[in-house]
Every structure is written in structure tokens, then in C-alpha cells.
Amino acid sequence: MIFIIILVVLVIIIAGGIKIVSQSKAVVIERLGSYYKTMSTGINYKVPIIDRVANTVSLKEVAKDFAPQPVITKDNVTMQIDTVVYYQITDPKLYTYGIENPVSAIETLTATTLRNIIGELELDETLTSRDIINSKMRAILDEATDAWGIKVNRVEVKNILPPRDIQEAMEKQMRAERERREAILKAEGEKKSAILLAEGEKESTILRAEAKKTAKIKEAEGEAEAILKIKEAEAQGLQLIKNVKLDESTLKLKSYEALMDIAKGEATKIIIPSELQSLTAVATTLKEVVKDSKK
């Protein structure tokens, strides 16, 4: 009976030494007060009473947001800067035994490093050199934390808060800069608009001048063509007269028509060609015309 009890107790003690380590975890084991080993993911065994768990460490990357730190720039401007440090434990043994309270040590180291870096920069450089600040801090922190089993993967300057009066001055400067850019853009727009209007007026004037020129050319061509047609008609008429043989009666008739036109005027004396004196009707008519003109 006693043997059974002892056996059960031994089984319980042995079973109690089984240790299951979950993913992304590491367990530091001490044996009789000294570091013995680091248990990794899976089933592990520690000797009861002799071995004990010194520390359970997470191997995941950690983002630690530290409170704002007062720093002074090269040109004696005090500002508040807070940072975020991304780190990961790479050696659980060094992390456990390397330094007391590693997170607090990282925060203190971050504050002192930040003060040293900002102290070499002026205000304007601090506001525009975040990438440089981040790179320098990461390199310094990573080198310093190697002895603690910690790797610093990234450091980010989260906020830079200058004094209130400097913030107001910066806001005024930015407002003035925006107004200046707006005025420049407005002036450039008006300039382009004036240029486009002038170019449009120029093209319109050119087109109107070309239209007038074309109209005058067409009009001159039309007049020239009309004169040419008239001259051609006159030439054709003269040619026809030249080609036609007029008899004596036709000539007398034409002469009579000419005398009738002359008689309509204000002349008081008319000379009758001899060729028409033999015509009694013509002489009588002319006498009546002369009488009428005298009256």
C-alpha cells in the first residue's frame, strides 16, 4: 500500500516536470540557481525541485511608445519629442541576465540618445530631418542593446512639439507662404488668360484682314472680268458693223434719228445735210422743230 502511494507521488512529480512551450515563446530554465537552458517551442522537460522557470520571454516584435521627452536644439529651443521603438528579443538568456528591467533601460537610452542628436541640430533641421534622426537613433540603440539580447529594428519620431509661440510663428509663416503661392498662381492664371485673349484677338484680326483682302481680290477680278466682257462685246459689235454692208436708205434713216435727237435740245439753228434735203417729209418736220425751239 505504501509502495503504491509512493509510486503515485513519483508519477505526479514526474508529470509535473513536463513543460509545453507555445509558439513565439522561450522559457529560461535555472538548475540549482544557475542558468541551465532555454526551452523552445514544443514539449520540454524540467526536473522537478531541481529546475525552475527563471523567465518566460516573448519572441515577437514589440512596439514601445515612450512618453514625450524635453530636448533642446542647437539654437536653444526647447521642445517635446516622443518616439516609438520597435524591438525584438533575439537572446532570451541575455535578455534575462543582461540588465535589470530592459524596457526601462531602452526608454532611458532612447531619451539620452535623442537629446544628443537633437542637440546637434537647429530647429528647422529638426523639423525637416526626421529620417536622419530615426536612422541615427536606430543605429545607436541597436548597438547598445546587443548586450541585452535585444535587436532594435526601427525607431520613429512620432511627434515634435515646439513651444507655443514658435508654433504660432510657424503657422503665420505657413499662412503667408500659402497666400504668396495663391497670389502667384492667380497672377500666372491672369497672365495666361491675357495672353490667350491677345492671341485670339490677333488671330481674329488676321482672319478679318485676310477676308477683306480676299473680298477685294474677288471684287477686282469680277470688275476686270466685266470690263473684259464689255470690251469683247464692243469689239464683236464693231466687227459685226464692219462686216455688214449698209445701204443708202439705212444710212439716211440713221441720220434722221440723229437729227431728231439734236432737235430735242435748246439749239435755235440746225444744219441739215444735203443728203436729206430731197426728202420733203424730213424738211417739213425739221421746220416744225425749229419753230418750236424758237418759241
Task: Dump pLDDT digits (tens) for 179-211.
Answer: 888 888 888 888 888 888 888 888 888 888 888
- Residue 105 neighbours by CB under 8 Å, 6+ apart: 99, 148
Taking 60 as the threshold, does the pLDDT of residue 26 lie above it? Answer: yes
Closest to 128 (Cα-Cα) out of 93, 169, 170: 170
Please state whether the predicted TM-score (pTM) of the whole model is above 0.85. no
pLDDT tens, residue by residue, 32-83: 889 999 998 888 888 888 888 899 999 999 999 988 888 888 888 888 898 9
Grid cell in block for residue 32:
540549482
At 154 the pLDDT is: 92
pLDDT at 293: 47
Give buried/exposed letters for 146-176 (b at 16+ CB in 10 A, else e).
Answer: eebbbbbebbbbeebebeeeeeeeeeeeeee
pLDDT band at 286 (very low <50, low <70, confident <90, very high): very low
Name the more confident of 83 and 12. 83
Beta bridge partners of 153: none
pLDDT-derived band at 17 (thresholds 50, 70, 90) equals confident
Residue 263 or 126, more confident: 126
**C-alpha dihedral sign at 8, 12, 18, 21:** positive
Confidence of residue 168 (pLDDT cuts 50, 70, 90): confident
Q: What are the boundaries of each domain within the chain?
A: 2-57, 62-162, 186-244, 248-294
Q: In the prediction, which pLDDT does 273 show?
A: 53
Beta strand pairing status for 69-72 and 150-161?
unpaired
Question: What's residue 145's pLDDT?
Answer: 92
* Rama region for 38: left / alpha / beta (φ>0; ψ in -120 to 50; rest): beta
Beta-sheet pairing, 62-65 with 78-89: antiparallel
Residue 130: what pLDDT?
87
Mean of all residue pLDDT scores within the chain: 80
Superfamily of domain 62-162: Band 7 domain (3.30.479.30)
Query: What pLDDT, on a 0 to 100 scale, did the predictor assign at position 254?
Result: 59
What is the Cβ-side half-sphere exposure of residue 208, based on CA atoms within 13 angstroms?
6
Question: What pLDDT is attached to residue 280?
Answer: 45
In angstroms, how far is CA 278 from the centroid of its own chain? 107
Lowest pLDDT segment from 111-120, 145-154, 270-279: 270-279
